[in-house]
Amino acid sequence: MTGVEIAMIAGAAISAVGAIQQGNAAKGAAKFNAQVANNNAVASRQNAAANAKRQEREARLRAGTNRANSAASGTYGGSAFDLLEDNAIEEELDRLTIIHQGELQASGLEASAGLLTAQGKSAQRAGYMGAAGALLKGGASLYGSGAFDSEPKYTGVNPFAGGTPPAVA
């Protein structure tokens, strides 16, 4: 095997290893980014829960203030109860909206994490395919160079015709 042929084999091997490393690095980066997105989803839910709890606490304070004002004004009953009930319903709707928005954000982040994971796996597969392509291309180039020609290394007597072959130095 000549030096050129060895260089062709080495070049194909190096290209293959590089393609695999590139695919693995892309997968690693995608995996990291997916984990960040999942962590952000957890934080979004926790933030929404904390905001909902704050909203609930503020709603209780407003309801207490409204009841006290209603009692102080002497309009505690009938329509005042209806107003207090409407306010309580609106406050609960606000609390549920906060939780829902946090859940929507978290779901979006989890979907992004799933997409990033899939992209990472795809990049890794592409790296393997690139490696296979580099090896095949190197093999084809080597074959095209005549490295696999089956010409004998010596000339002389046909071994099937009888006689003695010349000595190989």
Domain ranges of the chain: 3-144
CA distance 2 to 43: 62
Model confidence over 44-86: pLDDT tens digits?
A: 999 999 999 999 999 999 999 988 888 888 776 778 888 889 9
Higher per-residue pLDDT: 130 or 163: 130
CA distance 70 to 82: 12
Long-range contacts of 4-7 (CB under 8 A, 24+ apart): 4/145, 5/142, 5/145, 5/147
Angle at 9 between CA 7 and CA 10, to 5 degrees: 65
Per-residue pLDDT at 144: 83
Give the position of tokens 């003695």. Answer: 164
